[in-house]
Structure 1
Amino acid sequence: MVEDSSTDAVISWSRSRNSFIVWDSNKFSTILLPKYFKHRNFSSFIRQLNTYGFKKVDPDRWEFANEGFLGGQKHLLKTIKRRRNVMQSSTQQGGSSCVELGHFGVEEEVERLKCDRNALMTEIGKLKQQQHKSREQIMEMEERICSTERKQQKLMSFHCQSLR
């Protein structure tokens, strides 16, 4: 879907083609996700990217990179592996999860989750600003409608008086 130039307004490669950017997460979730996956959940897609070692490149937008995911280099895709589940690995090996957790990169996962949380908080802030602007625009539109209705009423009154 990243290689498909018809979806560039929704998702595309970065200029250097070493990362991809989701430009419109809403259209991505409603149109592309169900086409390629069994869900429409953008957050689940992000979690899956993390599971496969993708890193968020820019905290201000949905840009992700992985050394094995480069534009025009499909032969590298086989290098992308799903990371093992931390809790499952430690119990299968019979070790205590407290001892084994550090060994499997929990610190990196926590940092990644913190980064994702910060990105989501930024996105929520932007959405709240958009919502506030939308409310203001709706209020302005309602005032214009009321003003137009008042003008229509005055015209109707004037018209009725002129007919008498």
Structure 2
Amino acid sequence: VDWDRTMAFRHHLWRLGFRIAEAMDTSQRGMGFDWRSARELIRRSIAEARTVADADLASGAGTDHLAPASARTLDDVIAAYEEQFAFIEGQGGKAIMMASRALAAVAKGPDDYALVYDRILGQASGKVILHWLGDMFDPALKGYWGSDDFETALDTVVAIIERHAG
């Protein structure tokens, strides 16, 4: 990664008034751009954002360092999310909670998603953006929120959001 050019491009985007969602691309996270690399990108971007008035940056927090096949329990997934949230918030950043292949692999239904999301959102130091593109972008996310039915899945995520709004 050419860090100088990467950070220069962040500055260009901020000058244009863009807000940046960092380390999010599902074609990178979990598919070649590992958590170690994402951590470095996040660290550098948060440091750069501090030097720019009104820079708005949030960073993806997921479980991509936990292989879905290695996840055995919801606690494994929670621990993975906690690690990434702790890093981002420890750098002074804002988190975007990304969908988790590991959670999709171990969750048995909507209550499991609620348990994990409630736990992580309840620990977050500030507002969190929830990110979910669906299985059309990642087939491993099929049935996310505990249902293949959109309306049922929507009910689950809306209930989670309502519990943590404010």
Fold match (TM-score > 0.5): no
Larger radius of gyration: 1
Higher relative contact order structure (alpha carbons within 8 Å, sequence separation ≥ 6): 2
TM-score, normalised relative to structure 2: 0.24
TM-score, normalised relative to structure 1: 0.24
Q: Looking at secondary structure, tell me which structure has more helix per residue.
A: 1
